[in-house]
Amino acid sequence: MKLRESLCLALSYGSAVVRACAGHGDQVREWSQEELDELEMKWGAEWGFSGINVFAHLEYHKCLTNPTELFDIAIIGAPFDTAVSYRPGARFGPRAIRAASARQTSFRGFNPRAGINPYKSWARIIDCGDIPATPMDNAVAVKQMTAAFSELGARAAVSSHLAPRPRLMTLGGDHSLSLPALRALHAVHGPIRVLHFDAHLDTWHPAKYPSYWASEQSRFTHGSMFWLAGDEGLISNVTSAPSVHAGLRTRLSGTGDWDDDDKQNWVRISADDVDEIGTKGIVDNIMETLGTEDPVYLSIDIDVLDPAFAPGTGTPEPGGWTTRELIRILRGIEKLNLVGADVVEVAPAYQGAGEETALAAAQVVFEVLSSMVKKGLEGMGKTGAEEVTVDDGKDEL
């Protein structure tokens, strides 16, 4: 077939006209913007079970290879799990969470508790794909993740009048990714306070777990990353600015683990506390500790949930919260000044056929996105009832 007989498309960005060369003589078909809009109306909609595997059917861009792509909030996957201490498999977490988000669409994305649709409000939220972190060398993987978070987080936000830098919502991956995320955020915000939902402390002092085969890189695990972050000065540890663990219930090597945690100025809320003070008491404790002004990194290990609700995780611990309790607590902390967040340790190989763990994680992401967007509305002097909507022209079902 001759080259001129083949179908060619040339897009003119200035005039929004597409020319299709059918290859028969010099026949040219010009498409007006109105016609293109009609095609979008006819074929742009997606059902929950259709389309490619993108979080909530959002616009997808491979942001790390498109340095001019701007956003207010980016969904970024970190499929890395070679710093785990028990069951591997969280490298498949981002894929599973995206698949479980399929019923989230901009058309049916209104969040009744927040009074907004985060996908049709002021914020440009896109799926930026995954960080290609190597599974062969943890030291290199940490450098890759740090560089990726730094590059994405340093871009100008689309709505710069609300926040000069965008927010990153990371899909894990094992929990160790929080260290490179905090390194990147520290470069922008300075020391940050952390709200950490987890069954485990994750402030293990590496020297307290000696090994004949110890190495510098062995200090970096999904149980030591917050100790390392504190040791590097990434987390605020002044007396007036503590960070918070919530949902704790794991076994310890001894009370010395608490001593190390205390030295880095963490407030601990156990899983059992919900029985004594309820979800409102948990929320009140968190908000009284963190306030609404200081930058906060929100890190959610899905194992904060009981294995009955989230069996698909690397280090399951019986006696955790229900999915409903966690969601209710997340809804109560929406006034925090979140500068970044992650949902980690989803290991789909261990979940049931109903995808309960990934579904819980996808809902958690939706709640966090809703809170970030609502916080931005407050910065504009608006409420959820006065939300700024963006019509993307697509009616997903």
3-class SS letters over 163-215: CCCCEEEEEECCHHHHHHHHHHHHHHHCCEEEEEECCCCCCCCHHHCCCCCCC
Token pair for 228: 């390392």
User: Backbone dihedral region of 242: left (phi > 0), alpha (psi from -120 to 50 degrees) or beta?
Assistant: beta
Per-residue pLDDT tens, the chain, 397 aa: give them. 444 444 444 444 344 444 444 445 556 788 999 999 999 999 988 888 888 899 999 999 999 999 999 999 999 999 999 999 999 999 999 999 999 999 999 988 999 999 999 999 999 999 999 999 999 999 999 999 999 999 999 999 998 666 789 999 999 999 999 999 999 999 999 999 999 999 999 999 988 877 788 888 888 999 999 999 999 999 998 888 999 999 999 888 888 889 999 999 999 999 999 999 999 999 999 999 999 999 999 999 999 999 999 999 999 999 999 999 999 999 999 999 999 999 999 999 999 999 999 999 999 999 999 999 999 888 776 665 555 555 444 444 4
Q: Are 222 and 174 spatial neighbours (Cβ–Cβ below 8 Å)? A: yes
Between CA 40 and CA 38 the distance in angstroms is: 5
As to burial, measured by CB atoms within 10 angstroms (0-12 exposed, 13-18 middle, 19+ buried), residue 253 is exposed
CA dihedral angle for residue 64, residue 361, residue 199, residue 306, rounded to 10 degrees: -160
As to burial, measured by CB atoms within 10 angstroms (0-12 exposed, 13-18 middle, 19+ buried), residue 354 is exposed
Cβ contacts of residue 295 below 8 Å, gap of 6+? 185, 189, 192, 193, 337, 339
> 50-376: which CATH architecture?
3-Layer(aba) Sandwich (3.40)
SS3 61: coil
Sheet holding 8-12, edge to edge: 8-12, 17-21, 28-31
As to burial, measured by CB atoms within 10 angstroms (0-12 exposed, 13-18 middle, 19+ buried), residue 85 is middle
User: How many CB atoms are located within 10 Å of the residue 19 CB?
Assistant: 13
Structural domain boundaries in the chain: 3-42, 50-376
pLDDT single digits (tens) 285-340: 999 999 999 999 999 999 999 999 999 999 999 999 999 999 999 999 999 999 99
Closest listed residue to residue 181, CA positions, set 163, 166, 169: 169
pLDDT single digits (tens) 173-215: 999 999 999 999 999 999 999 999 999 999 999 888 777 888 8
DSSP codes joined into one string, 219-233: G--TTTHHHHHHHTT
Between CA 19 and CA 7 the distance in angstroms is: 10
Reduced 3-state DSSP string for 335-375: CCEEEEEEEECECHHHCCCCCHHHHHHHHHHHHHHHHHHHH
